[in-house]
Amino acid sequence: MAMFNDLDPLLHSQLRLAIVSLLVSEEKTTFSQIKEVTKATSGNISVQIQKLEQAGYITVQKSFKDNYPNTELQLTPKGLQAFEEYVMALKGYLNL
């Protein structure tokens, strides 16, 4: 009988997984880029970013660029490890 590892509930959310996946492929990304790629609302993105930041999965740096707010996100080593473990757990479910 197969053993199934628990999936990280923080990454099991579609939007949070999308944000972390984007950060795995990009060194940094902005709030605007996340909004463009995911088509999620600003409010929902803000809440999910806050959860990822509180977990230590991402860092958030806020600044101004051309007098407009600019929020830049970066994946932490902890976030990368959590993502890799999540992917491995999923592979276990798929028997890959």
Task: Sketch out the chain's domains with CATH numbers.
Answer: 14-94 (1.10.10.10)
pLDDT recorded at residue 67:
85
Structure tokens at 26: 């990009």
**What are the pLDDT digits (tens) for 22-55?**
999 998 999 999 999 999 999 999 999 999 999 9
| 5 pLDDT tier (thresholds 50, 70, 90) | confident
pLDDT (average), residues 80-93: 92
Structure tokens at 42: 């600003």
**What are the pLDDT digits (tens) for 71-82?**
999 999 999 999
Q: What is the rounded CA–CA span in Å between residue 54 and residue 28?
A: 18
pTM exceeds 0.85, yes or no: yes
Structure tokens at 32: 């605007």
